Chains A and B, each alone.
Chain A
Amino acid sequence: MSNLDVKRTAKLFIGGAFPRSESGRTYEIFDKNKKFVANVALASRKDARDCVVAARSAFTKWSEATAYNRAQVMYRVSEIMQGRREQFIEELSYWTKSKKEAEKEVDEAINRMVWFAGWSDKLAMVTGSNNPVAGSFFNFSVPEPTGVVATIAPEKSPLLGLVETIASAIVSGNSVIVIASETQPLAAVSLAEVLATSDVPAGVVNILTGSYKEIAPWLASHQDVNALDLTGVDKKSIAQELENQAAINLKRVLRPNTKLDGLTRIKTFLETKTVWHPRGF
């Protein structure tokens, strides 16, 4: 008997489950030679809204997990990415000039996940402080996650860029909704499968495929989203419009083409909590 050729359906990743788009829509993607590759779910605004609900309910537990635990979970993600290295390379090769280029992106993406994981239990030391005050008090400032982060991942760096946007948000305890590369979403679909099997609690990362131009405005204006990462927005006027929408509830915004050095990306999605503590007990 010959083997069945079982094709994978590329679906969304919402609240730890893999649903089709609520709208039932899909779109076709093509490789660098304009050859058909796959049908991918085309997310709607309702899917985006479901993501926000999932991300919000996941936030409490993830943000209250210990930094050590979050680091372990993120390290586990990189372990499983390593196991799926060949699959990622194959999926990127549809669009990269050479296989070598794909290999390089996958390896870098895995390294980047580990790099961010390492920051989890060091952030408080670097971004927090023990403040001098003129009285008999202790005064601390400690970093806290900002909440639900909506992210538009870069179009042309479908794995490395995606990993970076996700990892920089979740490392401090945020939960994230990410709109993956529209034309090269296969690696994002695989990364969702990695996340689902690596102890990342359901809802901490939610991945949508489709057009950010359609979905992002709904996330930018959503009152239950706390920050907006515009890294993947390629048009200035759209970025401006999204930023205007984000202003309604004072979301933190990471603009496209921001010069990112060191911890800028992580720090964008942090709040600072300052505590006065009476001395003496």
Chain B
Amino acid sequence: MRVPTAVYAARGRQAQNEKDVPFQEILPLRLKNTVSGKADSGSDVACLQEMGVLFACLKDNEFVEKYCHKEISQFKNCYKFYMDRKLEAKKTVNQGIVTPGNNLNYKQLNKYLRRFPNPV
């Protein structure tokens, strides 16, 4: 009798039998002591929220800046703060100088991992 495949599909694929396919440890089952720096390019997008607020205000006031002093100064401060942070990061984080915190650069992470490696 033909059983519709959908019946099996509902159960999901059955696991392989361990006897038929013995487990082989091709790579060691351990995490590496390094992380790659590829994904760490970071984005340059900053102050989107402030920009949105500023645009809304400008549009309401037909692009007359004197009615939007608060928004403009907020936007400027935000960007300045962002640039300062970036400059600071260039000096410390990108050099791999370790700082406390949770948002760590790959160089800092590597430094930590080298200090506390996985037990062999």
Tell me, yes or no, whether A binds B: no
Interface, chain A (partner B; CB < 8 A): none
Interface set of B (CB-CB < 8 Å, partner A): none
